[in-house]
A and B are shown apart, each in its own frame.
Chain A
Amino acid sequence: MRRLIYEWAESCRIAAQQIAANRTRSFLTILGVIIGIVAVTLMGTAIRGIDTGFDRSMSLLGDDVLYVEQWPWTPGEDFWLYRNRPDIKVADAGRLNEVIASTPNSRLRLAVPAPATMETVTYAKRQLSNVYIMGTTSDYALIGITDCRSGRFLNEPESRGGRNVCVIGLDVAENLFGADDPLGKTLKIGNQGYQVIGVFERQGSFLGLFSFDSQVVIPLASYAKYFKTGSENASIRVKVKDRRQMDEAREELRGAFRRVRGLLPEQADNFAINEQQAFRSTLEPVKAGLAIAGLFITGLALFVGAIGIMNVTFVSVRERTREIGTRKALGARRRTILMQFLIEAVAVCLLGGAIGLVLAFGLFTLVASLFPSFPIQFSPFLVFVALIISVLTGISSGFVPAWQASSLNPVEALRYE
């Protein structure tokens, strides 16, 4: 055992010498490994980044909320079928709440109507078009994020009475008011004046598609007075009591809304129940594609790298045949020689892995500094995986030449010119 450690240390010393003595050759050899490691870490990072970005986006929606809407979020089969469905009306929310209240042990807590539309918002000479205008009640605080940087969210009298007040997203505030304090000022949505009573905290965007910072929230009653409630964006959001029972809750909601709609048993649903998990399933093929592409590139690069290392180890064994003979004459066992060449191959691969990791880390840092919002994650686990892959590549590519070296006949090895 002790001898094994000494031999190991000696082999590491010789491996370092060999790599240092053949710098160019070693570097060219490990290019494949470097590329492979960069590819595998990039892939891992991208997949993790998608997951993190997704989770961050999901937390904006709340993971215990179901959406009753005209359109399903996931791609469905028939456009016209959805197109001709009846609108989701504000009144449906009230009736849905009655059904929920009459159901014993309901898994649903509360339905909140949140119809929305796109409108132009103006203040003084500044104008923002296509701003997401949502009408809702103070109950919305149960469902979405209503934290305010300044001012406050709608209170109950406001949402019931339909006063013309609004809470605006941070981007809306900055674009319309600049450095001025928006609180108490009156902006125009379409032709109607609304007084700003609150500015939301920065919330970020949903999967980079929809920014919660560019929305304006107004009382439902006011919305109903001036805007079309049955638009495509109309939705009723339903809070679920226990997020571990989402499937059961969705079924209950389906039944409840069928009652609201008065559907007969043989009639199909004429509405969609959406949940954020649906997005996750649409992301799976993207992640799988990334993983397959990454594995392919990684595998190819590592394969080429492994062949290169095998070749160089063969050359090294050939060049040092006489050294192998000498070592055997001095008492090196087969195991000793095998280990020495394996360690050299693994050391070269580990060096490649380390360089690859440094390169990948540099790339990540660069991307992260250029695009701060880009979801990017560099994890210790990836470092571990990359180093394990390097070691395995070294062992698998070095084994055959190392075995050949260890099997050399000492007499012939010493005679080798």
Chain B
Amino acid sequence: MPNEIAMEPRLARSGADVVIRIEGITKRYVMGATTVHALKGIDLLIRRNEYLAVMGPSGSGKSTLMNMLGCLDTPTSGRYEFNGQDVANMEDDELAAIRNREIGFVFQTFNLLPRSTSLQNVELPLVYAGVPASERRHRAAEALFRVGLMDRLHHKPNELSGGQRQRVAIARALVNRPSIILADEPTGNLDSQTGREIMTLFENLHEGGNTIIVVTHEEAIARHARRVVRLRDGKIESDHATAHL
């Protein structure tokens, strides 16, 4: 597997190398008669090339925070700056553009298009970015090469193993050279051996200069990160560096 993963440095407009600046974010859901306070005031600063794990039991607000970080949802109140841009008050389509350019998603269930080849799956974010077809192919193949799937370009998801599928998904997350890679339980559907391989891949990406945020409830996965943020009842319970080996 190639170890050198070159990343174009994307310069933040404010603050030297701050990618994400979150201040006093809250999120309330109205579910029928009751209002759920999923996040009760979160402050978080994430810098370039950090490797962060977000942990917490179910109901802690972990998923809600991940949706905020991924610009899939907007906070009820508070400030959220992504590379200096205020994303807290953006419209749907503006958020879509931010997700397309700045965020690479890796899902627990891979979420590949079932009838498309690896190459086509990896090309998808580039289609939405308006990249011409020839360049799309080139960059998608390059991303698949980085995750070690150069020989699986024209395979469809059902012809790939779970680990290979997740590698395709990671290639798809990488292909737009995003500011952060946001992984939600990336090993949740994999056996432990394959899970370790995927975590090694994240390790390599981090060493190559990528900023990685992993949302997980497994201590073993969180141990790979350099920093762990623990949530409880919609607040940050702890936030400290790990004793990384």
The chain A residues found within 8 Å of chain B, CB to CB, are: 2-3, 6-7, 9-10, 13-14, 17-18, 21, 322-323, 325-336, 409-411, 414
The chain B residues found within 8 Å of chain A, CB to CB, are: 67, 70, 72-73, 92-93, 96-97, 99-101, 105, 107, 109, 111, 113, 115-116, 120, 124-125, 127-133, 172, 176
Closest A residue to B70 using CB positions = A329
Contacts A410-B72, A411-B73; A330 near B130 (Cβ below 8 A): no
Contacts of B129 in A (CB 8 A): 3, 331
Which of A326, A332, A411 is close to B111, meaning CB atoms less than 8 Å apart?
A: A326
Contacts of B100 in A (CB 8 A): 330-331
Whether A6 and B133, one on each chain, are in contact in the complex, defined by CB atoms closer than 8 angstroms, is yes
Contacts of A336 in B (CB 8 A): 128
Whether B99 and A329, one on each chain, are in contact in the complex, defined by CB atoms closer than 8 angstroms, is yes
A48 to B96, CA, bound (A): 52
A115 to B83, CA, bound (A): 100
Which of B111, B113, B127 is close to A6, meaning CB atoms less than 8 Å apart?
A: B127
Contacts of A333 in B (CB 8 A): 92-93, 96-97, 128
- Output the least CB separation between B83 and chain A (Å): 16
Contacts of B111 in A (CB 8 A): 322-323, 325-326, 329, 414
- Output the least CB separation between B240 and chain A (Å): 29
Closest A residue to B128 using CB positions = A331
- Output the least CB separation between B226 and chain A (Å): 25
Contacts of A18 in B (CB 8 A): 115
**Contacts beyond the supplied A6-B130, A6-B131, A17-B116: 13 A-B pairs with Cβ under 8 Å:** A6-B133, A9-B133, A18-B115, A326-B111, A327-B128, A331-B99, A331-B125, A331-B129, A332-B96, A333-B96, A336-B128, A411-B67, A411-B73
Contacts of B124 in A (CB 8 A): 10, 327, 330
Closest A residue to B133 using CB positions = A6
Whether B172 and A330, one on each chain, are in contact in the complex, defined by CB atoms closer than 8 angstroms, is yes
Contacts of A409 in B (CB 8 A): 73
Nearest first, the 8 closest Cβ-Cβ pairs linking A and B are A331-B100, A3-B130, A331-B128, A326-B111, A333-B93, A17-B115, A330-B125, A333-B96
Contacts of A10 in B (CB 8 A): 124, 127
Closest B residue to A336 using CB positions = B128
